[in-house]
Amino acid sequence: MPSIANIKALLDLKDNDNSEDNVLLIYLTRATNHVLTYCNVKELNSSLEELAEDIAVFNYRNKGVENIVSEGKGSLSESYRDDLPPDIIRRLNENRRMRFV
């Protein structure tokens, strides 16, 4: 099962600092649900658990940034991120199962 302790380690947060636990749990739950749905699986194996943790970390780090990739001042140009990074998408696709109807 993906763990908040692993996410805290990846984010360099102290184990005894519980101030962000609720937010981390929300990000982890959403990332886990995303992986389960996208990959069409019922439970996560160890590589998918790591992937869910990586997605939660990515989303946490982008909190408040509102997906801005770059921002210019001169002509006022902004670029926004519209998806997960390519390496995470590649790992998701490697574990995706086909659904037959």
Mean residue pLDDT across the chain: 86
- Averaged pLDDT, 24-50: 95
In this prediction the pTM is 0.80
- Averaged pLDDT, 72-89: 74
- Asked if pLDDT for residue 69 goes beyond 70, the answer is no
- Asked if pLDDT for residue 21 goes beyond 70, the answer is yes
Give the range of the structural domain holding residue 53, as residue numbers without chain letter: 4-94
Q: Which residue has the tokens 């997605």?
A: 55
Any domain includes 15:
yes
Any domain includes 99:
no
Tally Cβ neighbours within 10 Å of residue 9.
13
Looking at the chain, the whole-number percentage of residues with pLDDT higher than 70 is 81
Any domain includes 101:
no
**3 state SS of 11:** coil
**How far from the centroid of its chain's Cα atoms is residue 30's Cα?**
8
* Alpha carbon distance, N-terminus to C-terminus of the chain: 29
Any domain includes 39:
yes
Count of structural domains within the chain: 1
Say which residue, 67 or 15, is predicted with more confidence. 15
